[in-house]
Amino acid sequence: MLITLDDQNFEIEIENTKKPVLVDFWMFGCAPCFLLSPILEKLANDYGEKVIFAKANLDAVPLAAQKYGINMAPTVILFKEGKPVSGFIGARPEDEIRKWLEDLLSR
């Protein structure tokens, strides 16, 4: 599942689910964001039963970005029970993201 977040639905979507939510904070014109996007879409297909994947354009989530200290794109954060548990900044290779996600899901 891949959803789009903004400041109106951000807290609702990450808090009102039993599944972890992986949020990709991105911006228009961001080359690393463009590289990361298809990787996350593929992982969303592979892990859709276990994780909700979400995209949040930084221009659409200024309040959430401020709350979670997001000031660079892309920034990826995994939320569990509405709280950030881990994340990374910048584009990463698919195998590295997959390992990171597997490690977090096994906890």
Tell me, what CATH number does 15's domain have? 3.40.30.10
Print the domain residue range for 9. 2-106
Q: pLDDT tens for residues 36-94?
A: 999 999 999 999 999 999 999 999 999 999 999 999 999 999 999 999 999 999 999 99
Could you give the number of structural domains in the chain?
1
30 is an active site residue: yes
The confidence score (pLDDT) of residue 60 equals 97
The confidence score (pLDDT) of residue 58 equals 97
57 is an active site residue: no
Catalytic residue chosen out of the listed positions 5, 14, 21, 33 = 33
Rounded to whole angstroms, the Cα distance separating 70 from 41 reads 21
Structure pTM?
0.96
Q: In what order do the strands lie in the sheet with 52-57?
A: 2-5, 52-57, 21-26, 75-80, 83-89
Inter-residue contact 56 to 25 (CB < 8 Å)? yes
Catalytic residue chosen out of the listed positions 2, 30, 60, 104 = 30
